[in-house]
Chains A and B, each alone.
Chain A
Amino acid sequence: MDNPQTTGAVSGAHYAFVFSISLLLWLLLSGSLAWEEVALGAFVSLMITLLFGPRFTIYNGIKFSFMAPLYVLLYLLHFFKELIKANFELAMRVLTPSLPIRPEMVEIKTTLESPLGRMLLANSITLTPGTLSVDVTGDTILVHWVYCPPGTDAKQATDAIAASFERHIKRFLK
């Protein structure tokens, strides 16, 4: 990708961030605070940070602020609500004998700029009612929609599929 955010210079804070994430993941997976475990985890995290640190720039899209954790939580709540709704809708479609589907490929536009933001939006679209992200090119996401109302254009599709997620994601990602 030739996105400027994946090629910019990286700072010391960035290395510290990658290191803490790696170490946190290690501690959660090992589930132990014995000093040997922590020391080994710190060593492995350091190696990962030194080797791959400059490539982990995908996290650059995060907007750090005091409110960010709250926004992430709000996003997750909204996401789980939609995920459960999606499953009941899918179960209804699968169990209905006439199989009420009317699939269509629609293109939607996003105003998110960072790769992480776009990826999170595409993931959210995939897991929510009746939609599946097929391809992301620039600011356009190609979506396969299981039940597309007749005569829907790109603007309406964007509003129906992506708008609510975009609003949530925008508060903590660029």
Chain B
Amino acid sequence: MNIPAELKYVDTHEWVRMEGDIAVVGITDFAQDQLGDVTFVELPAVGDMVEENKEMGSVESVKAASDLFSPVSGEVIEVNPMLENQPEILNSAPYTDGWMIKVKISAQPSILISADEYKNVISA
């Protein structure tokens, strides 16, 4: 299971990459593997406010529909346009092409955990 050390995580299986006060958000390799082939992704729109640990969208796969939880609070400034027509990139490249949204954070994130801590979450 790929868990890049330079990223931060939340135990609801989203990852975050901080670029200044911008947070890039996606789902982990573990999450995409558990979901199986992703068929549809529903994300917030640019301008929407997301809140830490609150629902921000959903992912549907051949197995299940799962809620997405925002790891940070702030305003959505960009949404990955590729996910609308090519949801399969979530399976093939969850940490790169499969990023979901960019958020201009409005508060210091408080629930993020390290790659090692996330490793413990998924092996529990």
* Chain A complexes with chain B: no
